[in-house]
Amino acid sequence: MKKILIVFGTRPEAIKMAPLVKKLYKEVDFNTKVCVTAQHREMLDQVLAFFKITPDYDLDLMKKNQTLNQLSAKILSTIDSVLEDYKPDLVLVHGDTTTSSMVALASFHKNIKVGHVEAGLRTYNKSAPFPEEINRQITGRLADFHFAPTKQSQVNLVKEKVDINNIVVTGNTVIDALFWGVKHINLDRKDIIEIKDFLWKDKKLIVVTGHRRESFGDKFYDFCSALKTLSERNDVQIIYPVHLNPNVQEVVYKTLKNAKNVILIPPLDYEAFIWLLNQSYMIITDSGGVQEEAPSLKKPVLVTREVTEREEAVKQGTVKLVGTNKIKILKYANLLLDDESFYNSMAAKKNPYGDGKASAIIIDFLKHNF
């Protein structure tokens, strides 16, 4: 029986790996264990609780204000004991985090095969998204098996001389997680009930998130200024779960605390957040996962980034890249609010990131190729 170790450390990784973990637990061909670095702590634990996953190893590495270099060094130095204890045949990592790239490197150093879930996304701009683009490229160079969510991701990998026989196009596991999550939402939760109490039924709900490092500073002020202007419309309500990063908190509360029709709330856990997304009319975000989830909920997305590694969504028309440019954000937000045909042209498109069967495709590949 082959031994698989799944390692992740952040909330987005946990969401996207959870459906794969749950399916692998049921497979008799594999013995599967989970290790978390806890690169995020509280947000990670919320996802684990929702999906009912208990890690076999918890490195508990989150420390306030630690640098990327400090975190990287900790991951490299602490994952060794897990690899030595479990002796996996394959380590599965996800996406673009420091956890993914450093665990892939540590596994490579020990001649352990690496599988990369959500492989092949690229902007080819090492500063955007930062540091995720380079994390992806590093992990891609170290991986033995590449689970690409789309054909374009596969093309990117082939251009980088990855053997096409080691690439499988799967769709994105975030859709697997979304479909499972929507079915298991507890509508009697206190935070969901509280949000229901301040939702205005006669207004169009805009859900906002923003936290990207490359937008900090003047760009983030422009983004918030656009939201403030947008909030002056009488037909909208903006709900913004504000990221805990001080660079985000300071600007958001300074600009939007007293803005008309804006409600600022603490970050939501995954269960409450996907419920809120489902209530929205439209979404303004710099999140990669939301770009993938929203089309399955039939919600148009304005992406406040200059470039995105989710090119398929842009080409399909389910998202619109607007950056942090105030004029551009307002132009397309007002179009979505005022022009029903434009709204439908985005909301009605098929999701390019799959149909919720990515985890099953990954497991089938492993059964026949590993």
Give percent of the chain with pLDDT exceeding 70: 100
| Residue of higher predicted confidence among 63 and 86 | 86
| Alpha helical stretches, state H, the chain | 11-25, 42-51, 68-86, 98-109, 132-142, 151-159, 173-183, 190-198, 218-230, 246-256, 270-279, 288-297, 311-316, 326-338, 340-347, 358-369
Residue 214 has pLDDT above 80, yes or no: no
Question: Which residue among the candidates 13, 40, 94, 96 is catalytic per the annotation?
Answer: 96
191 is catalytic: no
Q: Which two tokens stand for residue 101?
A: 């790239």
Q: Domain limits of the chain?
A: 2-172+354-369, 188-347
> CA distances (Å), 57 to each of 26, 98, 289, in order?
19, 18, 25
Residue 368 identity: H
Question: Which residue among the candidates 211, 212, 305, 310 is catalytic per the annotation?
Answer: 211
Residue 309 has pLDDT above 90, yes or no: no
pTM of the model: 0.90
Residue 212 has pLDDT above 80, yes or no: no
Find the mean pLDDT for residues 61-75: 94
Q: What pLDDT is attached to residue 248? A: 87
Question: Which residue among the candidates 136, 233, 243, 305 is catalytic per the annotation?
Answer: 243
243 is catalytic: yes
Contact 240, 213 (CB under 8 A): no
Q: What pLDDT is attached to residue 261? A: 96
Query: Tens digits of per-residue pLDDT, 96-125?
Result: 999 999 999 999 999 999 999 999 999 999
Q: What pLDDT is attached to residue 280? A: 97
Q: What pLDDT is attached to residue 146? A: 98
Q: Which CATH superfamily is domain 188-347 in?
A: Glycogen Phosphorylase B; (3.40.50.2000)
Question: Which residue among the candidates 11, 40, 94, 118 is catalytic per the annotation?
Answer: 118
Give percent of the chain with pLDDT exceeding 90: 88
Residue 132 has pLDDT above 90, yes or no: yes
Find the mean pLDDT for residues 350-357: 93
Residue 20 has pLDDT above 90, yes or no: yes
45 is catalytic: no
Instruction: Answer whether 2-172+354-369 and 188-347 agree in fold.
Output: yes
Please, which pLDDT band fits residue 166 given cuts at 50, 70 and 90?
Answer: very high
Please, which pLDDT band fits residue 52 given cuts at 50, 70 and 90?
Answer: very high
Instruction: Quote the CA–CA distance of 169 and 150 in Å, as a whole number.
Output: 6
368 is catalytic: no
Residue 251 has pLDDT above 80, yes or no: yes
| Torsion, CA 203, CA 204, CA 210, CA 214, rounded to 10 | -120
**Average of per-residue pLDDT values in the chain:** 95
Q: What pLDDT is attached to residue 216? A: 76
144 is catalytic: no
| Residue of higher predicted confidence among 307 and 31 | 31
Identify the H or E element spanning 116. strand 113-117
Question: Which residue among the candidates 13, 40, 122, 132 is catalytic per the annotation?
Answer: 132
Query: Tens digits of per-residue pLDDT, 260-288?
Result: 999 999 999 999 999 999 999 999 999 98
- Pairing of the two strands 57-58 and 90-94: unpaired
Find the mean pLDDT for residues 227-248: 93
Residue 295 identity: P
**Residue-wise DSSP of 318-360:** SEEE-TT-HHHHHHHHHHHHH-HHHHHHHHTSPPTT-SS-HHH
To the nearest 10 degrees (0 to 180), the angle between helices 288-297 and 270-279 is 50
Conformation bin of residue 124: beta by default, left when phi > 0, alpha when psi is -120 to 50: left
Q: What pLDDT is attached to residue 40? A: 81
Q: What pLDDT is attached to residue 246? A: 84
Instruction: Quote the CA–CA distance of 122 and 299 in Å, as a whole number.
Output: 24
Cβ-based neighbours of 301, under 8 Å, separated by 6 or more:
282, 283, 284, 285, 290, 291, 294, 295, 313, 318, 319, 320, 346
3-state SS class at 105:
helix
Question: Which residue among the candidates 41, 141, 189, 213 is catalytic per the annotation?
Answer: 213
Domain 2-172+354-369 carries which CATH code?
A: 3.40.50.2000
Find the mean pLDDT for residues 32-45: 92
Q: Please name which of 81, 69, 111 lies closest in space to residue 7, comparing C-alpha atoms.
A: 81
Residue 193 has pLDDT above 90, yes or no: yes
Query: Tens digits of per-residue pLDDT, 282-295?
Result: 999 999 899 999 99
Find the mean pLDDT for residues 356-364: 97
340 is catalytic: no
> CA distances (Å), 46 to each of 10, 15, 336, in order?
11, 10, 33
Reported as half-sphere exposure (CB side, CA atoms, 13 A), residue 82 has a value of: 27
Residue 240 has pLDDT above 80, yes or no: yes
